[in-house]
A and B are shown apart, each in its own frame.
Chain A
Amino acid sequence: GESVGLHLPTLSVQEGDNSIINCAYSNSASDYFIWYKQESGKGPQFIIDIRSNMDKRQGQRVTVLLNKTVKHLSLQIAATQPGDSAVYFCAENLSSGSARQLTFGSGTQLTVLP
């Protein structure tokens, strides 16, 4: 079954505003939590990951927050741009048999309004 899920299937933000995309997870055994971006007609693209022993990690215009107490992960995008319009997936690397696998949530469609 799916162990990562997203709070909202769609999110619309005004260009220039900050975006926050949320994700809940149920499995505490993951080493990493990861965010991917998928533009229309393309394959997913890695954005950022966070190790399970960290609370926050920043990248270029993105910040990922991990709250292990409530098993919640979020992706914050600063100054959202039209090019940020895409589906965003959270993922975790879960142990499956002898190997770790990336397990993806169902995605949030982010639309940036002009």
Chain B
Amino acid sequence: NAGVTQTPKFQVLKTGQSMTLQCAQDMNHNSMYWYRQDPGMGLRLIYYSASEGTTDKGEVPNGYNVSRLNKREFSLRLESAAPSQTSVYFCASSERQGASEAFFGQGTRLTVV
């Protein structure tokens, strides 16, 4: 049982480049989330998908887009990376939207130079 799997684990981008972070969960969860974590700060919600076929903005959506490809997969896209998007990105899933217990992936450390 892999839980939540994110790829890649590390990535370096040049300013203006684009990339997609992939996330998949094997727990048959309805809801999925993308967070970013910056030094000394908690996790901030970028986008979420309450259920398959829906996506909504979180606290810090600017510069990002998401796709809920199917129930298992939820991707995060940076169309034109900026240094301010240097961060650690976490994907998470839960049985239902807003549940206390969310399951997190191992994270993607992204550096934009």
Contact = CB atoms under 8 A, between A and B. Distances in A.
Interface of A: 2, 4, 9, 32, 34, 41-46, 49, 89, 91, 93, 96-107
Interface of B is mostly: loop
Contacts, number: 65
A9 B58 CA distance: 25
B95 to A, nearest CB: 12
Contact of B100 (A34, A44, A98, A99): A34
Find the residue from A4, A44, A91 having the highest chain B CB count within 10 A. A44
Interface of A is mostly: strand
Given A46-B101, A101-B48, A107 B42 contact: yes
Contacts of A45: 104
Interface string B88-110: 00101000011111111111000
B2 interface: no
Contacts of B101: 34, 46, 49
Measured as residues with beta carbon below 8 angstroms from the partner, the interface class of chain B is 20 to 34
A47 to B, nearest CB: 10
Nearest to B94: A102
A46 B4 CA distance: 14
A43 B58 contact: no
B42 A99 contact: no
A44 B104 contact: yes
